[in-house]
Structures are given as C-alpha cells and as structure tokens.
Chains A and B, each alone.
Chain A
Amino acid sequence: MTLDAKIPSGPIQEKWDRHRFDSKLVNPANKRKYTVIIVGTGLAGASAAASLGELGYNVMSFCIHDSPRRAHSIAAQGGINAAKNYQNDGDSIYRLFYDTVKGGDYRAREANVYRLAQVSVNIIDQCVAQGVPFAREYGGLLDNRSFGGAQVSRTFYARGQTGQQLLIGAYQSMMRQVEAGTVTIFPNREMLDLVVVDGRACGIVCRNLITGAIERYAAHAVLLATGGYGTAYYLSTNAVNSNVTAAWRCHKRGALFANPCFTQIHPTCIPLSGDHQSKLTLMSESLRNDGRVWVPTKKGDKRPPSQIPEAERDYYLERRYPSFGNLVPRDVASRAAKAVCDDGQGVGVTGFSVYLDFADAIQRLGRDVITERYGNLFDMYKRITDEDPYQVPMRIYPAVHYAMGGLWVDYNLMSNLPGLHVLGEANFSDHGANRLGASALMQGLADGYFVIPYTLGHYLASGGLAPVSTDHDAFAQAADSVQKRIDRLLQVKGKETPRQLHRRLGAVLWDEVGMGRNEAGLTRAIARIPQLREEFWQNVSVPGTPDNLNKNLEYAGRVADYLEFAELLAIDALHRTESCGGHFREESQTPEGEAKRDDEHFSYVAAWEFSGVDQPPVLHQEPLEFEYCKPSQRSYK
C-alpha cells in the first residue's frame, strides 16, 4: 500500500487556494441528494454538520450523549489560536504555521498545518458572528493572551470556558439546520461498526443506547469526529465516556491508525488523591502566564510552602528555560515536573506534585485582576482539593490529555478508505508529536467549518458512488458481528468489573507508555496487554440485559476496544526509537535531558494496518518533507 497524502503542488501559501479551485463542485440542486453521516458532535463534528447542512447536504449527526451539546470539546478551557495579529506583536499566518510545526517537533505535515494557520483567521470571524462572547478590552476590541509555547499573544478566549462557548456556537448553528430540515440528529447512539462496500465507506451500524436496538444507516460518505483515545490510560482529563471505539472499529475495517504513540501529557492538572478517582481535572495552561512553578530545593522537604524561604525554592522552569520560563510547551513542562518529582523534590502527600504559585502575581496585579482572569479555575481547584489557591500555591501534576495520533488522513481529511473522512482530534494530521496550547479548538473548527465543505464536495462530485441500501449484505454482516460481540460480553458473567480491568490497563500504560518510555518497559507492556485482554474476556461482569439503557455494557465494550488499541499504542512507541514531542524515549535524549529526534530514520508518519487481534500490525510509512520549516533541535532556553 502506498500512502498518497495528495498534497497539492505549488508554493505553500498557494496550495489551499489552488486546491479549492481544482476541487470538483456539487451543483447546489444536487447537494440534497447526497447523504452524509457525521459521527460525533464536538467542535469538529458539530461545525461540519452545521456547514454541510447550510450547503444543503442531507446530514445525519450521531452522538453518544443525550444531547449534541455535551461533547467533551466543551471542557476546553484556555482558548483558541488565530493568526489575526490584532496585538501588532509580530504574528502572522506564517508564524503560526512555523510555531505549530516546530511545536509538533517536526512530525506534522507542513501543507496541512499551513492551511490550518490560514483558515484560523476565518474561524474567529465566524464565531464572533455566531455570538460567541469572547473576552474584550474596554475599547470594545477582542482581547488576546499568550499561551504555552508562543511568544505572541494570539489566543482568543471566553473566560476559562472557551471550548464551551465555541461548542455552543457550533451546536446552535447545527440546531438551526435541524430546524431547517437539512440535519437530523441521532443522540444516544454509539457507532459500533463501519460498513464498507467495494472498498468505500458507505454507512455505520450503531447501538441505540436507550432501547438497545442495533441500527443501520447508509450514506454517501461517513465523517468521523469522535475525538481522542486518552481514556485508554483510565485516568485522563477526558470525559468518562470518551472512547476510541468508533475509530478502532474503522481501523479494524481497514483504516490506518497513525502515530498512536503521540499522546500529550498536560503539565497542569490537579494531582491524584486516591484509588477511587474516576478522572483527572485539568487546570488551564493559561495559569502558567501568571503562576510560577517551583519545588523545594531540598529533597523530601515537608514544610508548608509558606515556610520555605525564597532561597530554598527551585523555580526549575525559569532556571532551565530562561527565555520561555513557565511558558515552555506542554511536553517540556510535563517532563520537567516528572524529573523533579522522580528526584524526590515533589510535594504533597504522594510526593507527585509541584507548586504553581500565584503569590507574586497577586502582589503585582492585585487579587481582583487574578480573580477576573482565573476566578472560575481557582474556584474549581478549591472545590476539588479543599485548598484556597489565593492563600496557598496550587499543586499540579501532569496527566494524559490529548491524542495527537489518530486515523491517517490525506490532505482532504480522507482516510485510506474512500468515503471515510476523519476530523478533529480523531485524525492525526496537524499537531505532529506535540500539540501547542489553544490549537485543538482551532483544528476542530478549521476541519469542520472550512476544510471539509470543500474536500467532501470534491469526493462526492468525483462520481462512482452507487447508492447503497441498508439491506446490503455488508450491513447485515456488520450488524451481526456487533450483535455477537454484545452477546459475548453478556455471556462471560465473570467476577471483575470493567472498571477494575480498565484501571489495570491504565496502570500499565501510565507506567510503561507514559511520560518516559524505554525498550524494556514497552516490551513488558506489549507482553502484559494481551494477558489483560484474556483476563477481560474470561472474567468480566456485565449484569443486566442488552435491550435497555445499560451503561455498564457500553463501558465494557469500550474497555474491550482499549485492550486491543493499547497494544498498538505500545508497539508504535517501541518501534519509534527516537524521542520527539510527547513521545520521550529515555534512550534518545540530549546531554541536558531534552528529547532527541532522529530525523534520518524517523521523519515519517507511522500508519499501522490492522491484521487481526493477536496478529502484529503492518507498518506503512508516509515520509515527511520539510521545505519551509527546517527541522532543528527544539530549544526553549
């Protein structure tokens, strides 16, 4: 299989314009004759549903939630980047492009990233027109702030609820199309299989989570916008229902999974407090604009922070990275926190947290300014930990947050399976090995509002799409395999809950495929995961029946998929012997302990082909070429 990324020719600044002109168009009167399935209603899925509905396509939108508005994009706090240069501080499309490629440690596709930077400016215009209440200055202009890994202020925000406001904007636009009749919503549906006929994706099989019915839907194209796979680690900042199931089932039907080992561990999360914990809560990266990260210089120092004098504090980010200080990118900040904690300088009961201190900022700016900037985050922190961050420093520790890896897509956001398009976090394309803060919202909306309306039209207009009915054998076969798997889950009648098994998988991934990875640990993980899978299928307990709301059955199915997916994650991490971005191989580091890439051998996208459970996956490589951003050792010193 050769992977053709279909990158348009010409200078990078002109590729997207040329491509749009070269793309075929669907006649306005014909658009309603095309049915498009969109799975997921986060920023990518909802924005795609809204814009395709506006164009006149017949859109079916599916989500696992009770309402499209609940998708986990809603929890994004900090902001959205755009190359508006409203602050006159030297930003440009080219700089956003450059920062994103560099921030991704030269493992993203240049052409995609450039397009992302180009359309970023349109996103802000669109959102303001929708009534997204972005933060403003007293003169009435939009406000911006700087965000981790950037030296310009290009981040637009709505308090600490930017994701919520952008998602509500997209959701409302989509609901407008529901009222207009172009979009039909199918909430409480979980996609459990992709239907492929003659090599083309032409429908899905899903379970109605309320009635338990296995339902079939046919379409001319399927758009997957189902987010990332961070919950494989059990504890993450993702929602408890976030999962890899839809993407994994597409993978099992032939879609390649690219760079699964590129997972982002976010540096500023509330640390773990006990075994009961069901998720980790992110504290926005924006806090690092005013908070200073430190640990006691002395190992095992148990004094309360207020009693540790200035001279005995190690502001390790400011010390190690004088030019970026507390604003270094996420992967760098996370590893630095792990390093000081592994060294015994960590604080808190477990010794696995570091301070994020606002005392200086409160003194400099006053409590009111800090409240205005971060009030809701401070409240959230206090609620969870019972400590007041206005009085004592926050304690933070890294947690799994975002998946840069995902299903492989070409420049048109289409996977190797014709008809299957993948948008937002579910694809792999724009963030390389590390995502910069405030770029996920940008990518989700770019894909949905401004990319897919063009590229999908081209696919549909290119012809050869025979109408497929849900009576086709392929639908029956997919529905049958879905039903068999559900029956099998119910028949085990073992002693362990899906959560117990999930937690054990998460511990293996966090220990061996977490912030620091090495050959021995990854080999252990690859041996251990199939054993866990075996234990799952021998001993899982799924009480109740399949014909009604059965959340434990849903959860068991997702854990079963994680137990397959996790092996691929570890295999990818083992094969990539270089360090890059969020993937840190301990064998490959500079003398200062920074990630050391191996461009000679690994400047490619690793796209894996499924060849059966318990069978080794097949690696396909898409070479990456850097014409504009010449790879260099990333330095934030």
Chain B
Amino acid sequence: MEKMTIHLRVWRQAGPNAPGRLVPYTVENVIPDMSFLEMLDVLNEELIAKGEDPVAFDSDCREGICGTCGLVINGIPHGPDRGATVCQLHMRRYKHGDTITIEPWRARAFPLIKDLVVDRSAFDRLIQASGYTSINVGGAPDANAVLIPKDKAERSMDAAACIGCGACVAACKNASAILFVSAKVAHLGMLPQGQVEHKHRVVKMIDRMDDLGFGSCSNEGECEAVCPKEIKLANIAYLNRSYLTARFFGGL
C-alpha cells in the first residue's frame, strides 16, 4: 500500500485565555486505510516520544455514534465526507503532499478548553430544559398499549439519530443550535408519549437556547449540510410551526 506525506496546520491553544495559532506539522508514512484520527494519533505519538505536549482532541467510540469527536477540517465541520463524523473519515480521501488545516468548533456557547477541545455542556443544559418526557420509573403502561404508526415512528427515529456533536452549531454563521433543538422536539413530538408536554417543551427549549448564548436561525442550511446523521431542515420547519402554535394558540 502506498504511503503518503501529509502536511497539517493545527490550531494550538494552551488554554481558554491563552493566545492560539495554527502550527505546521508534517506526518510521514500515512496509510490510506488510516482514519483521520489515527493519523492524528501518529502525530501525537511522535510528539510524545519527543517529549512535546501532544495535540488535544476529543474522541471516544471512533465509530461515529458517541458524538465526542469534532474538528473543522479545511473549514468544514467533520471534514469533506457527507453524513459522517470525523472519526469515520479515512485518509484515502487525501493524496500525497496535501495540506490540511484543522481547527476546533468555534461558537460563543462552546468555549474553547485546549487546542481542538471545546466545552459543549450547553447542549446538556438544553436537554435539561424539557428535552424529555416526564415519566418516572415504575408507572409506565404496557409498551404495546399505544399503537404508533410506522411512518411516525420512523420520522421520530430519523430525528432521534442526532448524536449531539455540535457540528450544526459550528457550521452556522450565527452559531445557532436550532437543528439540535428541532431534532429533539421532532423526536419526541412525533410520538404520542411526547405530545403531552410538546408545547411546553418547544417554548422552554427555545428560551433556553437564547439564554445559553446560541444565535438565531437565518435559514442558510449549513447545519444540515454538515450533520453527520443527516438531520433534516424539515425538523426546523416543524419546530417553527410548533413554536408559533404554542405561542399564539397554546396560551404560552
């Protein structure tokens, strides 16, 4: 298998208040079957062996489901492959001699921690604002007591596929979390179990999104383009309809 030399420009920043800059590195012997993060592992191995501080980046499952990883690669969150997280990107996408720029998510609501790692706890606080059904353990009726049309269940599942990685926020020029919020509202709103609190959920999550410093939506659609789980803009339309209904006719 042919080996490649890859040039990198990596955002290095020692801490939230330290100045940051793009630092050039070169990685030799990159194999096309390597994942992008494995290529960064190789870089870090070299840095550690030299006694230098390795590049801090987040990752965990490395199979595209946990939502931990997230890098802006040549300006695109999660890189060039559509519908994939950066851990699923492979070096066969690049050729010998390429230069790749790697930056962190940049958004006011996601403050930087170090190098390529940002704080996404704002997403937890969004879910905290009614991103659930208020069902205590113990009192649930039989699972088949309520029939749910297959297409509704499928639409709910499409939205529930969101992994909470934050790429939608990173891609949005307003750093809005609207796609994330709409995915949760649609996931629960499509199901009878989620309908009970639907109106309250919509209003509370939108209010919380504003409080947390996320921007508003101006319908550019970058979020959908970079979403590794291909969450659709249609969810935002559904959210907007639900929000208007709740505000004007729902007494909220």
**Bound: A448/B148 CA distance, A:** 27
Q: Could you count the A-B residue pairs with CB atoms below 8 Å apart for me: how many are there? A: 220
Q: Counting CB contacts under 8 A, is B182 at the interface?
A: no
Q: Are the C-beta atoms of A549 and B113 separated by less than 8 Å?
A: yes
Q: Is the CB of A450 within 8 A of B117?
A: no
Give the residue name and chain of the A residue nearest to B189 (CB): A131
Nearest CB in chain B: distance from A634 CB, A:
31
Pairwise interchain contact B140-A239, C-beta atoms closer than 8 A: no
Chain B count of residues within 8 A CB distance of the other chain: 82
B136-180 contacts to A (CB < 8 Å) = 136-144, 146-150, 153-154, 156-157, 160-161, 163-164
Q: How far is the CB of A391 from chain B (nearest CB, A)?
A: 18
B251 contacts partner chain A, Cβ-Cβ < 8 Å = no
Q: Mark A68-85, 1 if CB is under 8 A from B, else 0.
A: 111010110000000010
Question: Are A125 and B53 interface neighbours, CB within 8 A?
Answer: no
Cβ of B150: which chain A residues have Cβ within 8 Å of it? 136-138, 140
Least Cβ–Cβ distance between B161 and chain A, in angstroms: 7
Q: How far is the CA of A549 from the CA of B104 in the complex (A)?
A: 15
Complex alpha-carbon distance, A328 and B127, angstroms = 41
Q: A134: nearest residue on chain B (CB-CB)?
A: B153
Instruction: Answer whether residue A600 sits at the interface, using C-beta atoms and an 8 A cutoff.
Output: no
A210 pairs with B113, CB closer than 8 A: yes
Q: How far is the CA of A273 from the CA of B35 in the complex (A)?
A: 11
Encode contact with B along A40-53: 1 for CB under 8 Å, 0 otherwise. Answer: 00000001001100
Q: Is the CB of A66 within 8 A of B163?
A: no
A159 CA / B149 CA spacing, docked (Å): 16
Q: Which of B1-49 contact A (CB under 8 A)?
A: 14-15, 31, 33-35, 37-38, 41-42, 44-45, 47-49
- Does A493 belong to the interface (CB within 8 Å)? yes
**Binding-face segment, A334-342, A357-365, A405-413, A540-548:** A540-548
Instruction: Decide if A544 touches B53 in the complex (CB within 8 Å).
Output: yes
In this assembly, does B193 line the interface, its C-beta being within 8 Å of a C-beta of chain A? yes
Q: Which of B34, B133, B148, B161 contacts A276 (CB 8 A)?
A: B34
Asked if residues A276 and B48 are in contact (CB atoms below 8 Å), the reply is no
Task: Give per-residue flags for A270-307: 1 if the beta carbon is below 8 A from chain B beta carbons, else 0.
Answer: 00011011110110000000000000000000000000
The residue from A68, A136, A281 contacting B148, defined by CB atoms under 8 A apart: A136
A135 within 8 A of B: yes
A 202-235 contacts with B by CB, 8 A:
210
A185 to chain B, nearest CB (A): 7
Q: Please determine whether B121 and A187 come into contact, CB atoms closer than 8 angstroms.
A: yes
Q: Is the CB of B48 within 8 A of A497?
A: yes
Q: Contact check, B90 vs A499: say whether CB atoms are below 8 A apart.
A: no
Q: How far is the CA of A513 from the CA of B246 in the complex (A)?
A: 60
Are A125 and B141 in touch, CB under 8 angstroms?
yes
Provided the pairs A67-B164, A137-B150 are in contact, do residues A552 and B48 lie with their beta carbons within 8 angstroms? yes
Chain B residues positioned under 8 Å from A281 (CB to CB): 62-63
Question: Are A171 and B133 within 8 A (Cβ)?
Answer: no
Docked complex Cα distance between A548 and B53 (Å): 12
Question: Which one of A160-168, A431-439, A470-478 is at the interface?
Answer: A160-168
With most chain A CB atoms within 10 A of its CB, the pick from B14, B42, B113, B136 is: B136
Q: Is the CB of B160 within 8 A of A277?
A: no
Residues in chain B near residue A69, CB distance under 8 A: 67, 124, 127, 164
CB-CB nearest in chain B for A545: B53
**A residues less than 8 Å from B143 (CB atoms):** 84, 124-125, 127-128, 134, 142
CB distance from A103 to the nearest CB of B (A): 24
Chain A residues, CB < 8 A from B146: 128
CB pair B59–A240 under 8 Å, yes or no, is: yes
Interchain CB contact under 8 A, A278 and B62: yes
> Given A124-B143, A543-B53, A549-B56 in contact, is the A239-B153 Cβ separation under 8 Å?
no
Complex Cα distance, B72 from A264, in Å, reads 37
Task: Evaluate whether A541 and B135 lie within 8 angstroms (CB atoms) in the complex, with A187-B121, A239-B61, A276-B41 already known.
Answer: no
Which of A66, A135, A165 sits near B58, CB closer than 8 Å? A66
Tell yes or no: B52 within 8 A of A by CB. Answer: yes
Given the complex, which residues of B lie within 8 Å of A542, measured CB to CB?
48
Q: Quick check: is A588 within 8 A (CB to CB) of the other chain?
A: no
For A141, the closest partner residue in chain B by CB is: B144
* Contact between chains at A541 and B128 (CB < 8 Å): no
A129 within 8 A of B: yes
Question: For B225, what are the chain A residues with a Cβ–Cβ distance below 8 Å?
Answer: none
Q: How far is the CA of A176 from the CA of B68 in the complex (A)?
A: 22
State how many angstroms separate the Cβ of B185 from the closest Cβ of chain A.
11
- B120–A67 touching, CB < 8 Å: yes
Question: Which chain A positions have C-beta within 8 A of B188?
Answer: 131
Digit string of A166-182 for contact with B (CB within 8 Å is 1, else 0)? 00100111011011000
In the complex, what residues of A have CB within 8 A of residue B191's CB? 131, 133
CB neighbours of A240 from chain B (8 A): 59-62
Is B66 at the interface (CB under 8 A from chain A)?
yes
B235 at the interface (CB under 8 A from A): no
A133 engages B157 (CB within 8 Å): yes
Chain B's closest residue to A541 (CB) is B48
Which of B117, B130, B138 is packed against the most chain A CB atoms within 10 Å? B138
The answer to whether A133 and B144 touch (CB under 8 A), given A74-B65, A138-B150, A140-B150, is no
Q: How far is the CA of A185 from the CA of B121 in the complex (A)?
A: 11
State which of A67, A122, A129, A549 has its C-beta within 8 Å of the C-beta of B135.
A129
Q: Any chain B CB within 8 A of the CB of A319?
A: no
A241 close to B132 (CB less than 8 A): no
Q: Chain B residue with minimal CB distance to A349?
A: B1
Which of the 9-residue segments A189-197, A379-387, A421-429 touches chain B? A379-387
B68 contacts A65, C-beta separation under 8 Å: yes
Cβ–Cβ contact B54 & A165, under 8 A: no
Say yes or no: A133 contacts B153, CB within 8 Å.
yes
Contacting pair B135 A173 (CB below 8 A):
yes
Docked-complex contact A173 and B144, CB < 8 angstroms: no
Chain A proximity of B80: nearest CB distance (Å)? 13
Supposing A276-B41, A384-B88 touch, asked if A65 and B135 sit within 8 A by C-beta, the answer is no
Residues of chain A contacted by B45 (CB below 8 angstroms): 497, 499-500
A158 at the binding interface (Cβ < 8 Å): yes
A130 contacts B by Cβ under 8 Å: yes
B79 at the interface (CB under 8 A from A): no
Residue of A185, A274, A550 touching B124 (CB-CB under 8 A):
A185
Question: Does the CB pair B66–A276 fall under 8 Å?
Answer: no
A69-B164, A140-B149, A543-B53 known; A51 and B41 CB under 8 Å?
no
A54 within 8 A of partner (CB): yes
Q: List 16 A-B contacts (CB under 8 A).
A: A47-B137, A65-B60, A67-B124, A74-B61, A125-B141, A129-B133, A129-B193, A131-B193, A139-B147, A161-B65, A172-B132, A239-B60, A386-B33, A549-B114, A551-B56, A552-B44
Q: Given A172-B127, A278-B35, 18 other A-B contacts at CB below 8 A?
A: A68-B124, A75-B65, A126-B138, A129-B141, A131-B132, A131-B191, A137-B150, A140-B147, A158-B157, A175-B128, A185-B124, A384-B88, A384-B90, A386-B92, A497-B48, A543-B48, A543-B52, A549-B114
Please report B residues at the A interface, Cβ cutoff 8 Å: 14-15, 31, 33-35, 37-38, 41-42, 44-45, 47-49, 51-54, 56, 58-68, 81, 83-84, 88, 90, 92, 113-114, 117, 119-121, 123-124, 127-144, 146-150, 153-154, 156-157, 160-161, 163-164, 187-188, 190-191, 193-194
